[in-house]
């Protein structure tokens, strides 16, 4: 039996409002913990918002239901906003976000499966897609209609393990698998174009046999449209290349490499929260 | 050993519909019976071990028991981080099966010699490690890991290995292949046959020498190891593996804190030190590594002469 969508269970807000909330939580968490990776959190806010309010069939009351959709966060460093998303969905209380990166907390700085609602721990890049492929194979075998979504960073597309998976999934016609690439154009040490150019990116996926969608990754309607189409009627796995802005929503963080690492001061946090409407 | 493995696995899979088998495009003339019988649970992933290990974790985290199979270093060292993070950290029910233990691939050369795998696998959290010495232990190990629900490593040699002892009653405990209490050789893997040959030669010289197969390296049954050597004046470990991290390290660790302990002499493969190995059969390479029956006998006699 299909799981109901979360909004039916939890009275969740519209994606734009949801994205506003999780951005604010993530900013507060990274500030309090003096943690890194806020830029890559902010670039994927709308992706998480649409997935969790519109797409994923999950039930926080039964997080291990065999028929659930799976979401694998492969860019495990962008975890503050992942935890914020799960808290907003009711997997645990919002108050628990205050323990992010604190001594003894389960809320580690790279995503941890000790946290309710998290499918797999990641953090070493290039691990999520093969795991997601395994889940998609098992889901297809089980025949319950579950789908698997996997969010990659652009920088982690440097990892060869991803390309093993990118070769594998179309060969096995894994139409219940959807990869989303948060293509914010900046990786750890510079721009993607400078460090290791991915272009022509869409053409690479196409030539490997994927159904490719290229959209504005901050456009919630576009995200909902392409993600709703999984499993793809073409019988191919889907990749959504989501063009995003690193640090999206906070003017002084947008497109700035340094916000892969820095945490905001008290003053900058206040400014950032004002900009995201918190 | 390969045949014993696939027969046992096929039997387990016929009883448990959740058992899957993945291979990294290796296993020609071995895996076909499983593939023919359970096509929906068999997958040749291609020459891509990182992907294979991650896929296995994903299937296992969906409630299945997944075996992955390839040669020596490929399903182990090549994808070590996937095994550490994706399999072991999650406690995923994945069984890593490597064929070609030690020098089993002889003349194929250094890339195909698995010399550090058992030690490295033993270091991973929550994994169980089995190094059977004969087909009987392979069958017992396959049955055991298929039902254990834990990440496991199974180290196989190749084919044609003889059974070295009577039935296996409890694979987790040392298995006595030859009674004898003055000197006890603890051996892991098919090289145990050389321990038996060496013991036979030493017996003619008045030594009561026992041979025990230790196939379960992790968890190591320390109490049973102590019991097996309780009257011994000398303990010898013998393995087709470098000494560091293997059976010798584990057994020496058992006794290290004891005020009164038996001497433990480790016989294994010397580290290569960056040198390439020469071509040769498994037997020739073992001999060259100082593990011929004659050398084993001589080293034990030297050790006894010093005492």
What is the tens place of the pLDDT at every residue in B40-91? 999 999 999 999 999 999 999 999 999 999 999 999 999 999 999 999 999 9
What is the Cα–Cα distance from A274 to A269, expressed in whole angstroms? 8
Query: Pairing relation of β-strands A70-73 and A148-153?
Result: parallel
Tell me if B45 and A168 make a contact (CB, 8 A cut-off). yes
pLDDT in tens, A46-95: 999 999 999 999 999 888 899 999 999 999 999 999 999 999 999 999 99
Q: Is the pLDDT score of B12 beyond 90?
A: yes
- Establish if A113 touches chain B: CB-CB under 8 angstroms: yes
**What percent of chain B lies above the pLDDT cut of 70?**
98
Q: What is the pTM of this model?
A: 0.96
**Contact between residue B67 and residue B144 where contact means Cβ atoms under 8 Å apart:** no
Contact list, A160 vs chain B (CB under 8 Å): 50
ipTM over 0.85: yes
Best mutation target, A66, A125, A126, A131, to test chain B (most B CBs within 10 A): A131
Tell me if A167 and B46 make a contact (CB, 8 A cut-off). yes
Query: Pairing relation of β-strands B42-44 and A190-191?
Result: unpaired
Tell me if A131 and B40 make a contact (CB, 8 A cut-off). no
Nearest Cα to B164, choosing from B154, B172, B175?
Answer: B175
The residues with which A241 forms a beta bridge, in sequence order, are: A181, A214
**Contact between residue B192 and residue B137 where contact means Cβ atoms under 8 Å apart:** no
Q: Which of B51, B61, B66 sits opposite A161 (nearest CB)?
A: B51
Tell me if A127 and B86 make a contact (CB, 8 A cut-off). yes
What is the Cα–Cα distance from B47 to B51, expressed in whole angstroms? 9
What is the Cα–Cα distance from B122 to B246, expressed in whole angstroms? 8
More confident residue, B159 or B298: B298
**What percent of chain B lies above the pLDDT cut of 90?**
89
Q: Is the pLDDT score of B36 beyond 70?
A: yes
What is the Cα–Cα distance from B202 to B209, expressed in whole angstroms? 7
Min Cα distance B7 → chain A (Å) is 24
Q: What is the 3-state secondary structure (H, E, C) of A12-55?
A: CCCHHHHHHHHHHHHHHHHHHHCCCCHHHHHCCHHHHHHHHHHH
Q: Is the pLDDT score of A11 beyond 90?
A: no
pLDDT of residue B166: 85
Tell me if A168 and B59 make a contact (CB, 8 A cut-off). no
Q: DSSP 3-state assignment of B275?
A: coil
B254, HSE (Cβ side, Cα atoms, 13 Å): 24
**Contact between residue A223 and residue A242 where contact means Cβ atoms under 8 Å apart:** yes
What is the Cα–Cα distance from B267 to B269, expressed in whole angstroms? 7
- Establish if B19 touches chain A: CB-CB under 8 angstroms: no
Tell me if B85 and A126 make a contact (CB, 8 A cut-off). no
Average pLDDT over residues B163-189: 95
Structure tokens at B230: 């309780």
Least confident interval from A42-46, A64-68, A131-135, A178-182: A64-68
Q: Is the pLDDT score of A2 beyond 70?
A: no
**Contact between residue A7 and residue A53 where contact means Cβ atoms under 8 Å apart:** yes
- Establish if A164 touches chain B: CB-CB under 8 angstroms: yes
What is the Cα–Cα distance from A46 to A55, expressed in whole angstroms? 12
Structure tokens at A107: 């809320």
Average pLDDT over residues B232-247: 96
What is the Cα–Cα distance from A181 to A74, expressed in whole angstroms? 10
Cα dihedral A101, A106, A107, A110, rounded to 10, equals: 90
Best mutation target, A130, A140, A208, to test chain B (most B CBs within 10 A): A130
**What percent of chain A lies above the pLDDT cut of 90?**
93
Q: Indicate if the alpha-carbon torsion angle A81, A82, A88, A91 is positive or negative.
A: negative
- Establish if B63 touches chain A: CB-CB under 8 angstroms: yes
Q: Which of B48, B82, B90 sits opposite A121 (nearest CB)?
A: B90
Measured between CA atoms, the residue of chain B closest to residue A67 is B62
Looking at every residue in chain B, the average pLDDT score rounds to 95
Q: Which of B40, B51, B89 sits opposite A165 (nearest CB)?
A: B51
Measured between CA atoms, the residue of chain A closest to residue B61 is A135
What is the Cα–Cα distance from B158 to B44, expressed in whole angstroms? 20
Q: Please provide the DSSP assignment of A178-204 as one string.
A: EEEEEE-SEETTEEHHHHS---SHHHH
What is the Cα–Cα distance from B192 to B131, expressed in whole angstroms? 11
Confidence at A8, pLDDT banded by 50, 70, 90: low
What is the Cα–Cα distance from A236 to B139, expressed in whole angstroms? 40
pLDDT of residue A4: 52
Q: Is the pLDDT score of A1 beyond 50?
A: no
From residue B296, give the alpha-carbon distance in Å to each of B49, B191, B240, B302, B303.
37, 11, 13, 10, 11
How many of the other CB atoms lie within 10 Å of CB of A248?
A: 22
Instruction: Count A/B contacts: CB-CB distance under 8 Å.
Output: 89
Structure tokens at A272: 């950032």
Q: Which of A131, A138, A167 sits opposite B54 (nearest CB)?
A: A131
């Amino acid at each position: 039996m299909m799981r109901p969508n979360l909004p039916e269970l939890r009275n969740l807000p519209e994606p734009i409002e949801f994205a506003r909330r999780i951005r604010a939580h993530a900013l507060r968490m990274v500030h309090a913990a003096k943690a890194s990776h806020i830029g890559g959190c902010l670039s994927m806010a709308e992706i998480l918002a649409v997935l969790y309010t519109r797409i994923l069939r999950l039930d926080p009351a039964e997080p291990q239901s065999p028929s659930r959709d799976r979401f694998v966060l492969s860019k495990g460093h962008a975890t503050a906003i992942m935890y914020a998303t799960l808290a907003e969905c009711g997997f645990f209380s919002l108050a628990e976000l205050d323990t992010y990166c604190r001594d003894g907390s389960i809320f580690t700085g790279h995503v941890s499966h000790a946290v309710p609602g998290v499918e797999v721990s990641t953090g070493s890049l290039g691990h999520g897609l093969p795991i997601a492929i395994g889940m998609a194979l098992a889901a297809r075998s089980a025949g319950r209609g579950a789908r698997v979504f996997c969010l990659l960073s652009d920088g982690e597309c440097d990892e060869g393990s991803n390309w093993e998976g990118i070769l594998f999934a179309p060969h096995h016609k894994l139409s219940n698998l959807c990869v989303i690439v948060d293509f914010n154009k900046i990786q750890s040490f510079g721009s993607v174009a400078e460090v290791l150019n991915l272009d022509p990116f869409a053409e690479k996926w196409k030539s490997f046999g994927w159904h490719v969608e290229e959209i504005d990754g901050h456009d919630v309607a576009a995200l909902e449209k392409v993600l709703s189409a999984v499993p793809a009627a073409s019988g191919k796995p889907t990749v959504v290349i989501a063009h995003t802005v690193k640090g999206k929503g906070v003017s002084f963080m947008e497109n700035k490499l340094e916000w892969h690492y820095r945490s905001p001061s008290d003053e900058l946090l206040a400014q950032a929260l004002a900009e995201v409407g918190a | 050993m390969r045949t014993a493995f696939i027969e046992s696995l096929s039997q387990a899979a016929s009883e448990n519909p959740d058992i899957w088998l993945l291979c990294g495009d290796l296993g020609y003339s071995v895996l076909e019976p499983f593939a023919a019988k359970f096509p929906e649970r068999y997958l040749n992933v291609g020459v891509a071990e990182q992907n294979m290990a991650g896929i296995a974790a994903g299937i296992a985290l969906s409630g299945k028991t997944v075996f992955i199979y390839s040669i020596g270093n490929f399903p182990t060292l090549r994808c070590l981080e996937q095994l550490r993070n994706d399999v072991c950290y999650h406690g995923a029910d994945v069984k890593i099966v490597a064929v070609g233990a030690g020098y089993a691939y002889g003349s194929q050369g250094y890339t195909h010699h698995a010399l550090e795998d058992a030690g490295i696998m033993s270091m991973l959290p929550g994994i169980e490690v089995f190094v059977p010495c004969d087909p009987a232990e392979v069958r017992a190990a396959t049955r055991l890991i298929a039902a254990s629900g834990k990440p496991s490593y199974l180290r196989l040699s190749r084919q044609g290995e003889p059974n070295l002892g009577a039935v296996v009653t409890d694979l987790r405990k040392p298995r006595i292949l030859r009674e004898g209490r003055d000197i006890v050789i603890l051996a892991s893997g098919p090289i145990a046959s050389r321990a038996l040959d060496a013991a036979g030669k030493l017996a003619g010289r008045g030594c009561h020498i026992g041979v025990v197969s230790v196939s379960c390296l992790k968890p190591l049954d320390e109490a049973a190891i102590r019991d097996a050597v309780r009257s011994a004046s000398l303990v010898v470990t013998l393995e087709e593996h470098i000494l560091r991290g293997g059976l010798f390290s584990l057994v020496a660790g058992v006794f290290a804190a004891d005020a009164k302990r038996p001497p433990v002499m480790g016989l294994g493969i010397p580290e290569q030190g960056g040198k390439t190995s020469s071509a040769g059969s498994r037997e020739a390479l073992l001999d060259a590594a100082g593990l011929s029956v004659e050398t084993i006998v001589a080293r034990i006699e030297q050790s006894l002469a010093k005492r």
